[in-house]
Amino acid sequence: MSKISITELAKKHGTPLFIISRSKLKQCVTRMQTLLPRVNPYYAIKANPHDQILKCFAREMKIGFDVASQGEMDRVLKWGADPQKVIFANTVKTPSALKYAQAHGIERMTFDSESELEKIAQYAPGAKVIVRIKVPNIGSVVELSIKFGAEPSDAIPLMIKAIQLGLEPIGVSFHVGSQCTRVENYLDALEIASIIFRDAKLKQIHLSLLDIGGGFPITHFDHEEDYFARMGPVINRELERLFDPGIEIISEPGRALVGPACILIMSVIGQSIRNEKSWYYLDDGVYGDLSGQIFDHCKYQFKVLKKGETHPSALAGPTCDSLDVLSMSEELPILQMGDLVYVENIGAYSNASGTQFNYIESAKIKVLD
């Protein structure tokens, strides 16, 4: 998006303004399918559940969805998602959500404990279950194996328990952690999963699905390496080596499909000098569309349209909470009231997790083709 477009959009719609590009959404899906041609993407809608994103993915791109609640199931089905291409990927589900899933034809779901199997058997009898295993999350920005995943050695006994409960174990899933830049995490996880597949076959448990989770990294700064471009072919080769062509392979990308498709445009609404540093207060912050700095441990590159000599500066959000500080170490030109600051690659875990603290509304959303 050009600087002229940013200025025109801010002038027309006001700020803060959150831009979603439909063409960029499609490009992200196509890139994923190109880098991992054997893997069917199931969009993790928690990253950004905006209706136009779901509509684009369900009706135009026709990809699958990873959902974690009854509300998320309802959202994707509303936009025409095929229930057979929806995976209920929360390993701790409520009874009401399980009943909803079964009533609406969503059969595939993950688990990582015996108690969860018993719950599924009670409220969604006959479901197709996928054991989620714990795998290395070394170096990932968000560690997920602390809270989720059974020990790999427990996978087969859990599948046997599933059969005893009248469920159908169909596969294995894992997650290497969010913003994973170490391809070794995926390679180790795939090796572990392949061993479970072989052991299951020996015990006459016929598995047909591998879910490699999400975690595929995107860039937030201009100088960053595009790790996914390097990792994708390596992961794909390992999939071909370890898993028979008849095995269905899916992934659960969130950030990789929506992160690069969105821009946040903000305005300076206040300024001061504190400890000999320029402070600029913006009309959005960590309680709004920059909530990813808190909940997603994300760091963003703040850009301005103004040129000139730069100085050490701080950026803060509009709320009365001192937590609402965006950066203490920006090199910026002297800004004035009304000057624009923008952030690219902010589509994931941004407007999805804001709280509207102080009753300060989140950014207006504009969808562009």
Q: How far apart are CA 133 and CA 141, in angstroms?
A: 19
Same structural domain, 51 and 138: yes
**Crossing angle for the helix pair 22-35 and 227-242, nearest 10 degrees?**
40
Domain count, the chain: 2
Catalytic-role residue among 28, 180, 298, 320: 320
Region 105-112: mean pLDDT is 98
Distances (CA, A) of 237 to 231, 233, 242, 261: 10, 6, 9, 28
pTM of the complete model? 0.94
CATH label of the domain that carries residue 116:
3.20.20.10
Q: How far apart are CA 299 and CA 349, in angstroms?
A: 12
Q: Range of 364's domain?
A: 3-17+260-368
Active site residue 320: yes
Same structural domain, 74 and 197: yes
Q: How far apart are CA 106 and CA 235, in angstroms?
A: 28
Amino acid at 150: A
Q: How many CB atoms lie within 10 A of CB 279?
A: 16
262: β partners: 20
Question: Per residue in 311-327, pLDDT tens?
Answer: 999 999 999 999 999 99
Q: Is the pLDDT of residue 136 over 80?
A: no
Chosen domain end from 201, 235, 258: 258
Question: Per residue in 227-284, pLDDT tens?
Answer: 999 999 999 999 999 999 999 999 999 999 999 999 999 999 999 999 999 999 999 9
Question: Per residue in 38-92, pLDDT tens?
Answer: 999 999 999 999 999 999 999 999 999 999 999 999 999 999 999 999 999 999 9
Same structural domain, 11 and 145: no
Q: Is the pLDDT of residue 140 over 90?
A: no
- Report the run of H or E that residue 192 belongs to, with start and end: helix 183-202
Same structural domain, 280 and 198: no
Same structural domain, 234 and 321: no
- Name the burial class of residue 192, with classes exposed (0-12), middle (13-18) and buried (19+) by CB atoms within 10 angstroms of its CB: middle
Q: DSSP class of residue 154?
A: G
